């Protein structure tokens, strides 16, 4: 094997032009795949970060059955105990308790169905982007008992402005009427049609009082330092939360917002198709050069077989040449593609013309690719499989040669 490996390395230098073409093709494919896959993964990171900060958090603590039914009676009791368990876990950036309920919001003769969200204003600043999305007025403070933020579309529908008085009307969990007069402190634009059309955000304590939910909340949203740590941190937190109450469970963002996860999975399929097409083009080019190499070397293989080298060893020699070529091309492509990806991961790739629009919703106007061991491993596997398959055919053809047939080419 060592002798075959030395021969394979020597053979790569015999036709330097062909070797250089194959090397460039493999390096280009590797570089492009790493950058494309990094861009795709980076866009998913930004989508996930935007979604979890806008709505769900990376994790949520809920009562069993709340996700399926959104029953206001299924609550998380004593959220302070949940806070203590969460804050003690490394990797947890912040957590905020929320109540979400449907109510009627009215101003004068106009009334609309609203989604009323009660939140801890101080903790919300640590977890979500809502404070940055206020377009008029200001975000609510802990001391504000009757102030609310309303969605931009809802403000338009109600013809409500800063300082205007609104009436909230709903039903508390004990069956009594939940009603309150509140004042508009700010108008928020999230870019999510449902929130902009229906959202009323207020402090948690007054909503708890209205809904007869003192000491109880609907969910506790949890922000982590990275979405890539969701699974291990979920596994670490689940027993701690269950120890507080067997009715509580920890859900991740994929369970709370399955539509986002499904959209990412669907989009990743299109990305894999693009990678496959790129590899297919490169594969045909490499196959052509490998076939030319094999047929041009009939005489060489004829001599080798005539002196006793088995056809299988000749085929293995060609495979070893392809593996050395793949390794060199992959390393070159990894260095160039990795350097490009890491550079733009810091500098970003500006989305021209979208700066103002993206800023309105608290989103970055640049794309940031990422480079992970998973991406490198994925690209390496794809490149290796394709080049091995491509080299396998001419190598197999060589193993089918008979010495007499090969010697005719002498």
72, 155, 202, 210 from 195: Cα distances, Å = 19, 12, 14, 21
Q: Which helix (H) or strand (E) holds 224?
A: strand 219-224
Q: Which helix (H) or strand (E) holds 237?
A: helix 230-244
What does the longest C-alpha to C-alpha distance in the chain come to? 102
- CA 202, 207, 209, 215 dihedral sign is negative
CB burial of residue 261 (10 Å; 0-12, 13-18, 19+): middle
Q: How far apart are CA 30 and CA 38, in angstroms?
A: 12
Q: What pLDDT tens digit does each residue of the chain (410 aa) get?
A: 677 677 767 777 777 887 888 889 899 989 999 999 999 999 899 889 888 988 899 999 999 999 998 899 999 999 999 999 999 999 999 999 999 999 999 998 899 999 999 999 999 998 999 998 999 999 999 889 999 999 999 999 999 999 999 999 999 999 999 999 999 999 999 888 889 999 999 999 999 999 999 999 999 999 999 999 999 999 999 999 999 999 999 999 999 999 888 988 888 888 888 888 888 888 887 777 777 777 777 667 766 776 767 767 777 777 888 888 889 999 999 999 999 999 999 988 887 755 555 555 455 667 889 999 999 999 999 899 888 888 887 777 777 766 666 556 55
| Residue 364 phi, psi dihedral angles, 5° rounding | -75, 140
DSSP-derived letter for residue 130 is G
144, 187, 214, 253, 295 from 200: Cα distances, Å = 14, 9, 20, 23, 75
Closest CA to 94 of 185, 225, 213: 225
- CA 171, 174, 176, 180 dihedral sign is negative
């Amino acid at each position: 094997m060592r002798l075959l490996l030395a021969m394979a390395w020597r053979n790569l230098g015999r036709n330097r032009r062909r070797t250089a073409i194959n090397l460039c093709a493999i390096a280009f494919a590797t570089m492009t795949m790493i950058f494309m896959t990094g861009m795709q993964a980076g866009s998913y990171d930004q989508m996930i970060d935007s979604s979890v900060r806008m709505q769900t958090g990376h994790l949520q603590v809920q009562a069993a059955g709340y996700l399926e039914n959104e029953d206001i009676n299924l609550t998380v009791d004593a959220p302070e105990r949940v806070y203590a368990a969460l804050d003690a876990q490394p990797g947890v950036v912040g957590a905020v308790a929320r109540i979400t309920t449907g109510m009627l919001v009215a101003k004068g003769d106009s009334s609309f169905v609203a989604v009323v969200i009660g939140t801890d204003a101080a903790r919300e600043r640590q977890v979500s982007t809502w404070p940055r999305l206020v377009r008029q007025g200001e975000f609510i403070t802990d001391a504000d008992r009757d102030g609310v933020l309303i969605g931009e579309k809802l403000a338009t529908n109600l013809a409500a402005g800063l300082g205007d008085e609104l009436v909230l009307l709903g039903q508390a969990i004990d069956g009594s009427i939940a009603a309150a007069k509140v004042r508009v402190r700010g108008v928020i634009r999230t870019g999510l049609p449902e929130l902009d059309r229906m959202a009323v955000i207020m402090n948690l304590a007054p909503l708890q009082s209205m809904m007869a939910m003192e000491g109880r909340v609907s969910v506790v949203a949890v922000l982590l330092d990275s979405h890539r740590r969701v699974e291990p941190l979920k596994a670490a937190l689940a027993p701690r939360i269950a120890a507080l109450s067997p009715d509580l469970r920890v859900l991740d963002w994929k369970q709370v917002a399955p539509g986002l996860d499904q959209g990412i999975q669907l989009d990743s399929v299109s990305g894999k198709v693009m990678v496959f097409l790129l590899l297919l083009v490169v594969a045909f080019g490499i196959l052509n050069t490998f076939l030319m190499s094999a047929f041009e070397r009939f005489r060489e293989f004829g001599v080798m077989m005539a002196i006793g080298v088995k056809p299988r060893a000749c085929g293995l020699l060609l495979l070893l040449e392809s593996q050395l070529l793949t390794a060199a091309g992959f390393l070159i492509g990894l260095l160039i593609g990795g350097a490009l990806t890491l550079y733009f991961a810091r500098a970003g790739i500006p989305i021209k013309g979208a700066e103002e629009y993206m800023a309105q919703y608290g989103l970055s106007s640049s794309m940031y690719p990422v480079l992970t061991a998973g991406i490198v491993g994925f690209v390496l596997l794809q490149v290796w499989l394709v080049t091995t398959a491509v080299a396998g055919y001419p190598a197999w053809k060589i193993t089918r040669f008979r010495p007499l047939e090969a010697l005719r080419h002498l």
